[in-house]
Amino acid sequence: MRNLTPEQILEKRCLRAAEELYPAPHQHKQVEAWVIWAYHKCLRDNVTPRQLKIKQAPNIEKISAQRNPRANVIYYPHSY
């Protein structure tokens, strides 16, 4: 990551976890509150944002995989 401090890296990890927990666009206040809570909890209790996410929603990774399937990219050869 482009010269980010450890605090910025932790904040980005918390943000990704929060966006997975609260995927709806109108839930930005909940995302922001969860990021702040998780950031301080990670610093204080030495846990990862992923551990906090799984503790709050144990099946979130399975649900998220169903919700956001990876796109299949098909490459076509150029015909000149």
**Per-residue b or e along 8-47, where b marks 16 or more CB atoms closer than 10 Å to that residue's CB:** eebbebbbebbebbbeeeeeeeebeebbeebbebbeeeee
Measure the CA–CA gap between 15 and 28, rounded to whole angstroms.
11
Instruction: Specify the pTM.
Output: 0.75
Domain spans of the chain, in order of start: 6-60
Of the listed ranges 4-13, 47-56, 71-80, the least confidently predicted one is: 71-80
Query: Is 74 or 61 the better-scoring residue by pLDDT?
Result: 61
Count CB-CB contacts under 10 A for residue 49: 23
Angle CA(71)–CA(74)–CA(19) in degrees, nearest 5? 15
